[in-house]
Amino acid sequence: MNSPSPPDPPDVRPQRASGSARLAVKPVNGHTRIATLYQEGCAKIRLPETDDRSLEAVMINTSGGLTGGDEMQWQFDIADDCTAQITTQACERIYKASADVAHVTTKLTAGERASLAWLPQETIVFEGSALQRSLTVELAGTSRALIVEPIVFGRKAMGEDVEKCILRDRWRIQRNGVLIHAEDFSIGPDAASMLGRPALFGGMRTMATVLLLDNDAERLLDASRKIIGKKGGASFWSGKLLARLIDGDAYSLRKRLVPLIELMNEKAGVPKVWSI
């Protein structure tokens, strides 16, 4: 009599990180204060004290980075007459993915006369990583928004080169329900070839997109171009000042990106965690 066959081994799926966080703020006696705060999984939001009437929110991914299959969701609602800037505790690291893609979804809203600054620190893309992100912004007619997104393809100081990776970035920005800005950035899987193209990165390994949505932003155009220099450019049209910067390493990029943020973010400047 034949012995029974052993049972099939159970499907073992790698553990994946998942997080979701939402923050809504409201005006209270001229100050911006919490209305609601929700956080789940590895997504956390911390609110350090500020010296003025604005609010600063710091996003934290307690998983320490993202890899294939991880999912993060962020939502920030800035009410009428509020001022808030949103940043990250540190650089977000996108690690090699054995399978699947990491997904990050962000939704921002700003009410009338509100001022919103989206200022995450650099996203560091490592060899073999795969990331897909979407950013949706809903603005009222009189709101102001500064959107900054810096990206680093491998750390030069650590001798890291990125040959293969996938990065997909999708932005959709509306004002009063009307689409005013849309862009899709895509690189990979042959990242090294694309980074080397003269019309794209020309061998550089870092980039930043800076978008200021303010009808009065044109007054900052000349000063922005002076800060950016020859490694990038800036233009203004229809209430939007759009700037692109590239550089050979993250430190050199920051030397221009920080003063550019200080110029565009008015009195708020750069979040304190950027210098910690």
pLDDT value for 192: 83
Question: Where along the chain do its domains lie?
Answer: 92-268
CA distance 18 to 20: 7
Residues 127/98, Cβ–Cβ less than 8 Å: no
- In this prediction, the residues of the chain whose per-residue pLDDT falls under 70 are 1-14, 157, 159, 276
Residue given tokens 């293969």 in the structure block: 164
What ranges make up the beta strands (E) of the chain? 18-28, 31-41, 43-46, 55-61, 71-78, 83-88, 92-94, 102-110, 115-119, 123-125, 130-139, 144-153, 166-175, 178-187, 206-213, 232-237, 240-247
Q: What's the pLDDT tens digit per position in 164-186?
A: 999 999 999 999 999 999 999 99
pLDDT value for 193: 86
pLDDT value for 191: 84
Q: What's the pLDDT tens digit per position in 131-173?
A: 999 999 999 999 999 999 999 998 776 767 788 999 999 999 9
- Dihedral of CA atoms 225, 230, 235, 240 in degrees, nearest 10, equals -70
For residue 59, list its beta bridge partners. 45, 88
Burial class (CB in 10 A: 0-12, 13-18, 19+), 137: buried
Please count the other Cβ atoms lying within 10 Å of the Cβ belonging to residue 229.
11
Tell me which residue of 83, 76, 77 sits closest to 27, measured CA to CA: 83
pLDDT value for 203: 75
pLDDT value for 214: 95
Indicate the DSSP class of residue 13: P
Please count the other Cβ atoms lying within 10 Å of the Cβ belonging to residue 178.
8
pLDDT value for 157: 67
pLDDT value for 119: 98
Residue given tokens 């000042």 in the structure block: 241
Is the Cα torsion angle 229, 218, 215, 33 positive or negative in sign? positive
For residue 246, list its beta bridge partners. 207
